[in-house]
Structure 1
């Protein structure tokens, strides 16, 4: 097939994915500005936010991963022009996401004592505990928001979640500025001010998202007049069958990055702070790949509903190609600017912390060198996962992610990080190995599953 058969889809792929990309970048900007503002307080405060968020990220991965089950179900029903199934997917998804959000909040509260068992610096743990309480509670509105977002994505309307996220970014920056540093009549609360900013911005985000959808004719009937007493076990089981494997897939990936944070903490507060800087920067570009993954999930789900399997495969490959092109550009960017980017996070005029800041900048630069390499494989693995979710093929990919990250990646991170002179860079060698393995095997799985659908249709 000619290259133009794939490149001609780039425009529509970007049209679908750019609001998701900007929305996800918005989520990352919340973390970016949190880190930049908190970084002005000192490396211990920055490490505390990193440690607290490491717990939240694990729980968040389960909630967001579970909510992705809504998108392929809505996309498939939309492809079939079945409006009743679209509304059922949203209604049941909202109920399940709310329950899951509350459960994850409770689990995080009980998990707090684990911080003392993780060999983290005492001053970091003391700062991280109260910060975690507030940010953990913010998971409830965040996961409810995800249910609305995934529903809108499934209908190929990806820009509304972007609008809500932009509002959250603005509110988060404003509240952070007022409460972290005690501007005007507001109290100086340090990192607790950052946690309050996160909570309030996420509440505003879900309220605004619901208001937007309710006032749009296309969505109005789907998001109003619910009868939550009328729930069907078959729909719940279908969402859970897709949602829990998807949650585990995201959990396995996020957990290995979280393990990198914890391993860095064993090395000391400066390696942990450097890890947070590099992780925050690399997550910004990962959001682009995540947007393309959503585009793959939507378009594959639509074609599956239409049973147009040859077209499904061509469209999916066009997203793979676009992800590859963009990730090569990001790889070059990180490689060329690896020494300059970390300077955004620390006050280089702070003579009191000059030694610590210099060490953090040096380590972060080394980590960005590794990150420049795994930009490509990280993008390809998440797009392949999106395409597989569009096919509603989630069981085997879950095993692939588990093996890639925890049987291949983590042992390498553990050994090279703690038992060699590579230190923090050795931890990221494991991330590179895990992401590369996942990219290879997930692509092979999509190739197998899509070919199987075509062969079955041909022989029927």
Structure 2
């Protein structure tokens, strides 16, 4: 148990997840970096389209996290034979979900996006991008399943390798497809979509091969693919459903935030998308540690180490706060450095710097809030995690809307809504953990 909460183990579990999240972020960030050299419309469209696809992917991610918490609990209880059936059913559910989301997009996507995007130019480019990206939901969802399985059994090495493959290939394919290099046709925003789908697919191929070569399927009783068990599905969905809703609502609120920004003008939207790309990079280490936290907490409770959870929380907060302060200082020393990766427009960079100062402060608050919320999720009480998220988002979006439409504040002040968001998220999570009610949460029968 003491090994589970050691700083060494925290890092061993977390760093491959950090690299895994980096790969996912790199896809959107690389798209922005290349399309930032095409046009402001392309930047805005890729930003909105990326968030739209991410909302769908987060539904799969939420399902995976629910199963991951169960698998980590079985791992802590030393019941490896029970992990495989959970993973098999997770793959079933992820495939069904991905196919359903693809069908939803091609039936309702254009109608939905046309209702929330005012600019005709941005709408057309967004559809060009998303019509390609959504096809990649199938490999992307299965990648989520493999990542959650590996995280649940505390063997995250392959995630970092797959992340490197995904990031490297996405960079290469963007170079080839967006501008039409080395004999490929110039496809601009559509090329960015193809690059993302191909890199995700090849990353999945690597994970499948790695798991088979390590014989993890034999060790954990995987890949028998029995008939769907209602009891198994019910167990997964009981934990996963609140996480799915939380994940989708959280990203949907991020999209809503950008739609509110779009009402300020195309320039403000372009600035916000460039800043978002930089912001996403800064959040990578903290999100990776957050996912690792869910496994560490669930496994620790499975081992009977409930009394050590607060010690684990303190150590996780120390790690994330120190990391966030380092990121904040780097960002404040040269705020234009990170932005220059995503656009070569000097005026756009200069206009973005006031917003960078705001997010540099919010990143520290995010570090604490992310850990506390992840601990709540890791205990198995994912319904409480959802309630905390929804309550916080109501405050967040209400504040953002008022800043734009009622108080008519400049863009940097509008972004202070991030500070409000993370402050309340951390406060609500801490209050729940302080009650001790999480000790009675069950993740399986």
Place the TM-score, normalised by the shorter chain, in its bin: over 0.9
Change over 3 Å in CA distance of 1:451–1:269 after alignment to 2? closer
Change (3 A) 1:346 1:187: same
> Residue 286 of structure 1: which of 275, 280, 283 is its match?
283
Q: Give the conservation status (yes or no) of the 8 Å contact 1:168–1:205.
A: yes
Pairing 1:183–2:171 present: no
Paired residue total: 439
Residues 56-71 of structure 1 mapped to structure 2, 5 A cutoff: 56-71=53-68
| Offset at residue 256 of structure 1 (A) | 2.1
Distance in 1, matches of 2:47 and 2:104, equals 19
Q: State the SS of the aligned residue for 2:301.
A: helix
Aligned to 2:17: 20
Tell me the distance in 1 between the aligned counterparts of 2:367 and 2:153: 24
- The aligned residue for residue 295 of structure 1 is 292
Taking the aligned partners of 1:296 and 1:225, their CA distance within structure 2 comes to 27
Q: Deviations over 1:12-53 (max 9, x none)?
A: 211210111111112212222211111111111111111211
Distance 1:202 1:339 in 2: 30
TM-score by length of 1: 0.90
Alignment-derived partner of residue 204 in structure 2: 206
* TM superposition score normalised by structure 2: 0.93
Aligned partner of 2:154 in structure 1 is 156
Q: Partner of 1:104 in structure 2?
A: 101
Distance in 1, matches of 2:307 and 2:295, equals 16
CA contact (8 A) 1:410 1:431 kept: no
Matched with 2:436 is: 449
Conservation of the 8 A alpha-carbon contact between 2:87 and 2:222: no
Q: Deviations over 1:221-248 (max 9, x none)?
A: 547542332x221111111111110122
State the match for 2:112 in structure 1: 114
Matches within 5 A, 1:248-263: 248-263=245-260
Q: What are the ranges of 5 or more consecutive residues in structure 1 without an aligned counterpart?
A: 349-356, 455-460
- Structure 1 residue 398: Cα displacement: 0.7
Aligned counterpart in structure 1 of residue 393 of structure 2, from 395, 405, 428: 405
Distance in 2, Cα, partners of 1:117 & 1:452 = 45
Distance in 2 between residues matched to 1:48 and 1:420, nearest whole Å: 27
Map of 1:374 onto structure 2 = 362
Checking the alignment, whether the CA contact within 8 Å between 2:84 and 2:222 is kept in structure 1 is: no
Aligned partner of residue 69 in structure 1, secondary structure:
helix
How far off is 1:186 after superposition?
1.0
Runs of 5+ in structure 2 lacking a partner?
none
Offset at 1:330?
2.0
Distance 1:405 1:344 in 2: 30
The two structures, once aligned, show a CA RMSD in angstroms of 2.2
SS at match of 1:344: coil
Given candidates 372, 376, 381, the residue that maps to 1:384 is 372
**Contact map agreement 1:57 1:258 (CA 8 A) in 2:** no
Q: CA deviation at 1:151?
A: 0.6
Work out whether residues 388 and 428 of structure 2, in 8 Å CA contact, stay in contact via their aligned partners in 1: yes
Distance 2:207 2:117 in 1: 41
- Match of 1:396? 384
Give the Cα separation in 1 of the matches to 2:78 and 2:9: 21
Distance 1:420 1:364 in 2: 21
CA pair 228-273 structure 1, distance change in 2 beyond 3 A: farther
